[in-house]
Structure 1
Amino acid sequence: MGVLGKLGGAVVDAALGVPLRSRAYTVHRDLAVPMPDGITLLGDHYRPDVAGPLPVVLIRLPYGRAGLFAHAFAAPYARQGFQVFVQSTRGTYGSGGQFRPFTTEHEDGLATLAWVREQPWCDGRVAMTGGSYFGHTQWAVAPYADPPLVAVSPHITAARITSAFYDGGAPGAENALRWSVQIGAQEAGGLPLPTPWGRAKVTRALRGQPLQAADTAAGGAPVPFWRDFTGHAEPGDPFWATADHQEADLSSFPPANMVTGWWDLFVAEQLRDVVRLQDAGVPVRLTVGPWIHGEPGELREIVRTDVRWLDHHLRGGRAPRGAPVRLHLQQAGTWLEFPCWPPPGTTTEHHHLRAGGGLGAAEAADVAPSSFVHDPADPTPTAGGPLLQGPGKQADQAAVEARDDVLVFTGPELPADLDVVGPVRARVHLRLSLEHADLVVRLCDVDPAGVSRNVVDGIRRLDPRTVPADDVTRGEDGVLVVEVELFPTAYRFRAGHRLRVHVAGGAFPRFARNSGTGAPFATASGGRQCRFEVLHDADHPSRLELPVLPAS
């Protein structure tokens, strides 16, 4: 490695917050790995200048083995003295076959792991790391590896990866189309990075109907993932079963290091994974910061924590210090440490929806319901939130709250800071004029100037094929009781601020509009208006449920 290369590596390592080391290594490119079906996948081998077999850090990703991803996710580990094998997944960057996201990573991953272990440069010990899609490639292997992996780091991802694309049963059209356009540009040899004009094309495409060909409208050509996403969104479709590792046996799952962000689209499902791993006795370290998906601070934390994690598990280095769970408390500028997730010691506060737009601690007397009409021809918009690409996070909700199809319930000024840390839920009692509808609940923070900003939200797609269910029941009076799981958070509502809750029938374009007809969203055109009645009397106590830390 030349002087310029060492200097460039030092700059990258300093930006990533890892020790400034420059261990000598060589790179052997385009090693062929045969798959059982005859397809060959290509990988690059980063080998430290050390004699004898060594443990291997395996990274499998669809975004290429050179350029940005090599500099950020392979070379930094090699400079720390780790042996790395980074492989392009099927159908990407020289690897054979077709790239059908999430559908082949289980078989290909296990075959690659077996091949790595057979190489004379591997001592049999293998760890995996990476975020997002190459976090998914770890879930596709880790529960099934025999012998087990030594350690994993599945960041900003989830065992049930499709949860981010069908949140609460509602198709997350904006995130899915943005990623589809990125993949389409990559496969066409173009620029896969998001641009302002690219985002505008995605927005225009999502406004069109039907949505089946929105990939062509936004990116100029069909993309297999978008066609799979739109074609397999109906309840009970088994297409995505091969990508779902939520029910995998975790008895041999290796120790896991996880980093995510409160505004990451996978955070809700990833924290459910953390609970399952903890319950199975798997050692887990978790960091949740104030980040959106792929934000530089998030990527820096991934590499920084992984260097110590891999050093400990592959080389016997010092174990990471501090509590297993580290959470950024938003609006407080501080970090909290806990022994597990969800944090112990919280109490659940109930904030009841009130007639006239109030939000109170106690149930209301017998009052008339609040109502609105959702029109799919003019879908309720969304602003901010956990998006795959920015802008996202918090946004001014004035335009949303000014609409007639959004109910707004606001509480009194808080007399003291309120720290909400953990999963957030809502229970809403509903009467609907249609069987097919979406229920959206959003928690906002209203500052003393009256500016309302989103904090967390959740959606539940109501469909007679999936109702009743564990989270949707129907009372003797015909009223639906819908449990909505909002995103988890760690957030300080400051004294003098007010809590605000939205109830709506859509969040467009983040989620595909619900036509109200039951037609598949890919082919639906037009739609029917749906009348919502939200009940909030003593017999129907609609409420928000907040996990609150005790005042310090």
Structure 2
Amino acid sequence: MSVLARLGGLLADAALGLPLRAVRYTVERDVAVPVPDGVTLLGDHYRPAGAAGPLPVVLIRLPYGRAGLVAHAFAAPYARRGFQVFVQSTRGTFGSGGHFRPFSTEHEDGLATLAWVRAQPWCDRRVAMTGGSYFGHTQWAVAPYADPPLVAVSPHITGARITTAFYDHGAPALENALRWSVAIGRQEAGGLPGPLSPRLRARVHRALRLLPLQAADTAAVGAPVPFWRDFTGHAAPGDPFWDGVDHDDADLTGFPPTNMVTGWWDLFAAAQLTDHARLRAAGVPARITVGPWLHGDPGELKEIVRSDVRWLRHHLDGGPAPTGAPVRLYLQQAGTWLESETWPPPGSSPVAHHLRADGGLTEQPETGDAPPRRFTYDPADPTPTVGGPLLERPGRQADNAAVEARDDVLVSTGPVLPRDLDVVGHVRARVFVRTDLEHADLFVRLCDVDPAGVSRNVVDGIRRLHPRTVPAADVVVGEDGVLAVDVELFPTAYRFRAGHRLRVQVSGGAFPRFARNLGTGEPFASATTGRPCRFEVFADAAHPSCVELPVLR
């Protein structure tokens, strides 16, 4: 390793907030790994210089290449700390054979790669896996099924049920899906997906508004992208195409110790917290850190690498166990961290805030009759969204004034808070609604209104109504035809400060973050026409619409 390379490594460690260390290592490039169907996958093998005999292996599988940022941020930092690392390009990417069909072959290819690594003379058969986002998915595709089990895993900013990133309670996550499709559609030229250029962002913005949606990938990048065609072509509820992609029903017996990092504005935060709770319930030693981050934020990446160095040192080298509680949460607007043994924290209890017919929001529900509030959702002029957990900036919180001024958004605002209100846990809403179309979306957003009157989003959720899914466990049809719709909002840890007010928005969509509901039931990929949908939202004694907040006492 050259002096320049060692200096670059030290600079990279400093940028990642790691203690400076310069263990020398060698790299063997383009190591061929055969898999059972005849395809050959390529990987890079990092090994401590001068090491004798077999060592444990840190396995990383990803579709974004093995050089550049991947090498400097996700492989070399571990190699500089004396770990043996094998980084592999997934099928059809960066020299690996076959065709890249995202998520579809990671189970078979991952298990075959694991068996190959364990059979190498340089491996002592102990293997851990790490990585975030798609690299996290490749861990879920292997960890529940590995025999013998992996030593440890770190599936960051991802979810066992990966399709939650594409379809949120039935509503296609349009903007995130197209941005990612554009990124992977050009990645062989540009490497690890990152923020889109202004020119490409403008093309994506125009493509999001095209109908039919099936060809939006061509409009954005000039060529079809297989994932986009899968996303648009298999959006119907319960489409069996995705059956082999999700792993949330996998047997967790023997699942390895797990370390996870995510952010409150990361699109995978809800799925990851659900995974953590499932793992702990199954007796798996699992830790999670949730910070104030958007997907791929520098702070999030730093925490991933820093926590993984400690995690791998403990499980592969016998180093000290991580200290502190297994659940670590950043309390937004308070600037502090909370620690807990479980998620949600045991000190949180639900408090309902009821929508009122006059536009108020109180802990007391209406006691008598009241007329419903009405609005019309028009897919030709879809209700926009700002902020939220997006794949890239802009995300997080934003001023919601322009959205709340529209006549297709109902706003309910609470009184001034006399003291700080800490909301920590899962936020849920039950809204009583009647629509004149069978196909409709219900979007609910909780906002924080400051003393100057600026309304900023905190969490939100959407529920797609469809004849095949109504009635359901979360949609009850009353005798009067009014639907009681349960909407799961994003989890959070957030302080509403004294002097602020709570606000709830109810609307028929949030475009382009979610695809507009055209109201016709036409296939998602080929639909070209839309119909306006009239909503009635009830808030009377018989229909107590509310948002349930987990308040930390």
Q: Does TM, normalized by the shorter one, top 0.5?
A: yes
Aligned counterpart for 2:324 among listed residues 322, 325, 333: 322
Cα distance per residue 1:399-437 (max 9 Å; x no partner)? 100100000000000000000001100000111101000
Structure 1 pair 41–311 and aligned structure 2 pair: CA distance change class (3 A)? same
**Could you tell me how far apart the structure 1 residues matched to 2:201 and 2:40 are?**
35
Partner of 2:333: 331
**Could you tell me how far apart the structure 1 residues matched to 2:165 and 2:242 are?**
13
**Could you tell me how far apart the structure 1 residues matched to 2:25 and 2:8 are?**
15
Report the 3-state secondary structure (helix = DSSP H, G, I; strand = E; otherwise coil) of the residue aligned with 2:427.
Answer: strand
Partner of 2:15: 15
**Could you tell me how far apart the structure 1 residues matched to 2:397 and 2:113 are?**
41
Partner of 2:285: 283
Partner of 1:253: 255
Report the 3-state secondary structure (helix = DSSP H, G, I; strand = E; otherwise coil) of the residue aligned with 2:177.
Answer: helix
Aligned counterpart for 2:241 among listed residues 205, 230, 239: 239
Structure 1 pair 191–421 and aligned structure 2 pair: CA distance change class (3 A)? closer
Report the 3-state secondary structure (helix = DSSP H, G, I; strand = E; otherwise coil) of the residue aligned with 1:243.
Answer: coil
Deviation at 1:132, TM superposition (A): 0.1
**Could you tell me how far apart the structure 2 residues matched to 1:160 and 1:307 are?**
26
**Could you tell me how far apart the structure 1 residues matched to 2:183 and 2:541 are?**
50
Q: Structure 2: which 5+ residue stretches go unaligned?
A: none
Partner of 1:306: 308
> Is the contact made by 1:429 and 1:536 (CA closer than 8 Å) also made in structure 2?
yes
**Could you tell me how far apart the structure 2 residues matched to 1:17 and 1:141 are?**
30
Instruction: Give the share of equivalent positions with the same residue, in percent.
Output: 78
- Whether 1:429 and 2:441 are equivalent positions in the alignment is no
Deviation at 1:190, TM superposition (A): 7.7
Supply the RMSD in Å over aligned alpha carbons. Answer: 0.9
Partner of 1:340: 342
Report the 3-state secondary structure (helix = DSSP H, G, I; strand = E; otherwise coil) of the residue aligned with 1:30.
Answer: strand
**Could you tell me how far apart the structure 1 residues matched to 2:59 and 2:193 are?**
24
Which runs of structure 2 are paired with 1:144-543 in the superposition (5 Å)? 144-187=145-188, 192-193=193-194, 194-364=196-366, 365-543=368-546
2:5 partner letter: G
**Could you tell me how far apart the structure 2 residues matched to 1:517 and 1:321 are?**
54
Deviation at 1:374, TM superposition (A): 0.3
2:531 partner letter: R
> Is the contact made by 2:430 and 2:485 (CA closer than 8 Å) also made in structure 1?
yes
> Is the contact made by 2:26 and 2:48 (CA closer than 8 Å) also made in structure 1?
yes
**Could you tell me how far apart the structure 2 residues matched to 1:192 and 1:118 are?**
33
**Could you tell me how far apart the structure 2 residues matched to 1:223 and 1:424 are?**
36
- Runs of 4+ aligned residues of structure 1 deviating over 2 Å after TM superposition are 187-193
Report the 3-state secondary structure (helix = DSSP H, G, I; strand = E; otherwise coil) of the residue aligned with 2:305.
Answer: helix
**Could you tell me how far apart the structure 1 residues matched to 2:255 and 2:473 are?**
28
Deviation at 1:196, TM superposition (A): 2.0
Deviation at 1:197, TM superposition (A): 2.0
Report the 3-state secondary structure (helix = DSSP H, G, I; strand = E; otherwise coil) of the residue aligned with 2:324.
Answer: coil
1:13 partner letter: D
Structure 1 pair 347–190 and aligned structure 2 pair: CA distance change class (3 A)? closer
2:497 partner letter: R
Report the 3-state secondary structure (helix = DSSP H, G, I; strand = E; otherwise coil) of the residue aligned with 1:213.
Answer: helix
> Is the contact made by 2:441 and 2:509 (CA closer than 8 Å) also made in structure 1?
yes
**Could you tell me how far apart the structure 2 residues matched to 1:274 and 1:280 are?**
10
**Could you tell me how far apart the structure 1 residues matched to 2:77 and 2:193 are?**
23
How many residue pairs get aligned? The number is 550
**Could you tell me how far apart the structure 1 residues matched to 2:105 and 2:292 are?**
32
**TM-score, normalised relative to structure 1:** 0.99
**Could you tell me how far apart the structure 2 residues matched to 1:95 and 1:413 are?**
59
Deviation at 1:236, TM superposition (A): 1.6
> Is the contact made by 1:128 and 1:152 (CA closer than 8 Å) also made in structure 2?
yes
1:319 partner letter: A
Q: Structure 1: which 5+ residue stretches go unaligned?
A: none
Deviation at 1:189, TM superposition (A): 5.8
Cα distance per residue 1:218-244 (max 9 Å; x no partner)? 111110000000000011211111111
> Is the contact made by 1:512 and 1:521 (CA closer than 8 Å) also made in structure 2?
no
Deviation at 1:192, TM superposition (A): 4.5
> Is the contact made by 2:65 and 2:191 (CA closer than 8 Å) also made in structure 1?
no
**Could you tell me how far apart the structure 2 residues matched to 1:281 and 1:196 are?**
47
**TM-score, normalised relative to structure 2:** 0.98
**Could you tell me how far apart the structure 1 residues matched to 2:55 and 2:168 are?**
42
Structure 1 pair 58–191 and aligned structure 2 pair: CA distance change class (3 A)? closer
Deviation at 1:187, TM superposition (A): 3.8
Report the 3-state secondary structure (helix = DSSP H, G, I; strand = E; otherwise coil) of the residue aligned with 1:21.
Answer: coil
**Could you tell me how far apart the structure 2 residues matched to 1:512 and 1:337 are?**
37
**Could you tell me how far apart the structure 1 residues matched to 2:387 and 2:478 are?**
35
1:4 partner letter: L
**Could you tell me how far apart the structure 2 residues matched to 1:347 and 1:27 are?**
52
Structure 1 pair 356–271 and aligned structure 2 pair: CA distance change class (3 A)? same
**Could you tell me how far apart the structure 1 residues matched to 2:53 and 2:502 are?**
61
**Could you tell me how far apart the structure 2 residues matched to 1:136 and 1:57 are?**
16
**Could you tell me how far apart the structure 1 residues matched to 2:87 and 2:8 are?**
20
- Give the stretch that moved more between structures: 244-253 or 10-19: 10-19
Deviation at 1:191, TM superposition (A): 8.5
> Is the contact made by 1:515 and 1:521 (CA closer than 8 Å) also made in structure 2?
no
**Could you tell me how far apart the structure 2 residues matched to 1:391 and 1:493 are?**
22
Deviation at 1:476, TM superposition (A): 2.0
Report the 3-state secondary structure (helix = DSSP H, G, I; strand = E; otherwise coil) of the residue aligned with 1:197.
Answer: helix
Report the 3-state secondary structure (helix = DSSP H, G, I; strand = E; otherwise coil) of the residue aligned with 1:47.
Answer: strand
Partner of 2:88: 87
Deviation at 1:200, TM superposition (A): 1.7
2:453 partner letter: G
> Is the contact made by 1:376 and 1:526 (CA closer than 8 Å) also made in structure 2?
no
Partner of 2:31: 31
> Is the contact made by 2:70 and 2:192 (CA closer than 8 Å) also made in structure 1?
no
> Is the contact made by 1:377 and 1:526 (CA closer than 8 Å) also made in structure 2?
no
